[in-house]
Amino acid sequence: MLKQKLAALLLPLALTAIPITAKAETPLNLPADITTTTLPSSTSITTPSTTKIHFGVGYRYVDIGDDTNAYLNQTRAMFKDSMPGFDKFLDLSRNLPHIALGVSTTLPLHILGNDTIEALVSNEFSSSAIFGTVKSEKNFPASVQYQDIKFDLGDTPTTWEQKLTIYDALVVGFKYTPFQHSLKPFVKLNVGLSYLISESDLHIHVNGNNTTDFFGWDTLNFFNIFQDIHTTDRMEGWGYIIDPKVGVTIAVSEKIALEIAAGYRIEPVRIKLKEHTKQDKQQHDKTVHLNYSAGGPSVTVHGEYKF
């Protein structure tokens, strides 16, 4: 009888203990595939677009180069004695503004944890059709010196006009931004090729006076003294570009930013120069090859839009 009572008391406890033990041991015997987490098919990870379009303007103060300057010195030397101040008057424009359009994309490369490296391609274009011609005018008091005698030739209005027919450059490069912020400093290196055509026009006209009337221009031409001199030059050539820059990108909105950069551009151009000169009734043509420099200190301001 006692054994039956004890069994009746212990049986519920045993039944209660069985599920407790099973719950404690169940995680140890879970199949491996039950622990695998699978994202629902509708879940995706969105990567922000890194393609940008760039549009802006730039300015460069070109060096011209020693070779081109030496060629100009030959013309300056011809007139500087008879037309004081002509050597400073005759100079090539050193201003080269341009517009630019390009596209860039962020590469999956990093040097630091929060930096970006962008590859870019851009086209730069300039022309006097957009930015205008450069024209200088001055009235020189011309004269000639023969031994100790000086002969005045009268007022000599002179015009010097320069026109950039076309300048086009195709550049590729990389832009490195060390960290991401609303104000982001960067370094950039571009390389590329450039092509240019430019023209210049020099017109010198001696109004004359009693001296020239007395001798007559046909006689003065014999001594290489001319009343009307008109020289046109056409330069054409290809160059290569090495263009390092530093700058800052300023975020305007989530998709729009402003990029400001400055640097020193290396851009030697091998040009072919064709010159035609008409001096009264005489005409002359010549062709020379020169090393011209379209490089120099530069600054660019670009807007960028992120797709």
Q: Indicate if the pLDDT at residue 11 is higher than 50.
A: no
Separation of alpha carbons 99 and 97, rounded Å: 7
- Domain annotation for the chain: domains and CATH numbers: 51-306 (2.40.160)
pLDDT in tens, 57-76: 999 999 998 999 999 999 89
Q: Mean pLDDT, to the nearest integer, of 171-193?
A: 93
- pLDDT at residue 22 tops 80: no
- Determine the pLDDT at residue 15: 37
**pLDDT value for 151:** 86
pLDDT value for 37: 47
Is the distance from CB of 272 to CB of 287 less than 8 angstroms? yes
What 3-state DSSP class applies to 88?
helix
- How confident is the model over 263-282, as a mean pLDDT? 96
Higher pLDDT, 28 or 159: 159
- Does residue 30 carry a pLDDT above 80? no
pLDDT for residue 231: 96
Q: How far apart are CA 97 and CA 59, in angstroms?
A: 4
d(CA 214, CA 208): 10
Helices (H), ranges, the chain: 2-25, 66-79, 86-89, 128-131, 210-215, 217-222
- The 10 Å Cβ neighbour count of residue 208 is 16
Which residue, chain included where needed, has tokens 């940008």?
A: 52
Full-prediction pTM beyond 0.75? yes
Confidence of residue 44 (pLDDT cuts 50, 70, 90): very low
β partners of residue 215: none
Rounded alpha-carbon distances, angstroms, from residue 63 to 174, 269, 291, 304: 25, 11, 11, 29
Mean model confidence pLDDT for the chain: 85
| pLDDT per position as a tens digit, 113-147 | 888 999 999 999 999 999 999 999 999 999 988 77
Note the pLDDT of residue 210: 83
pLDDT value of position 18? 40
3-state SS assignment for residue 231: strand
